[in-house]
Amino acid sequence: METTLIYSVPFGCSFAAIAALEWSGLPYQLARVEARDPASKQHPAFLAINPLGQTPALLTHAGAPLLESMAILLHLAARAPASGLGFAQDTPQYDRLNSVLSFLHTTFHAAFMPAFQASRAPETDARAAIWREMAVEKVNKSLAHLERLLAGRTWLASDTAPTIADAYLAATARWAEPLQLARLADYPDTARVLAALGQDPGIRFAHAIEDGLPAASQGGFLGHVALDQLALPAG
């Protein structure tokens, strides 16, 4: 059975898993969910895999559902040990990767949530300004911590190649300026890494996939599959 990633657009954090799949060299398919389309989010096949209706969701090569970005990224790194996406357990590199990925998956990702909440609020909702103020503070505090993590380093967890942590950074840090929460130029090491990632073929592929443009895979991409065609887990 082929690995299948269910991802959402626009600007989903499932972007990280697309890039990681490209870097891994593993064969995989993609299934697209339009986040602004209720019918897509509530598709029975999607809900059979993730009853919460959230992305990313992975159908592994064994046919089992795997949910949550961090779990999916660690799974891909473990399945492709020669790709440099992760490190062997019980090593300092593995501990650092888990630490920075956990920070991105929890603290950094959560910092943006008040801004997303404010963007969905009616104009008459006085709480929106408070939520935005909270997001500005949290995002800038998190970016300052990213600067500390990147000081003197080429990538977040490696000095030779981007890892799953850098893929997740690319997926989430791109929210800061469109939401007008921070200026990435104020965080030069973070901006440097994001600029380097922007030239990476796997990251460019993930952008093209999200934008619905022709995407030239240098990995194991086998094409898209419709939600109706997903091989659902047994039981």
Model pLDDT, residue 30? 98
Model pLDDT, residue 85? 97
Distance CA 148, CA 171 (A): 20
Q: What is the mean pLDDT of each run of 10 residues along the chain (235 residues)?
A: 93 96 98 88 90 95 94 98 96 97 98 95 91 97 98 96 98 97 98 98 98 95 94 66
Model pLDDT, residue 233? 66
State pTM to two decimals: 0.95
Model pLDDT, residue 78? 97
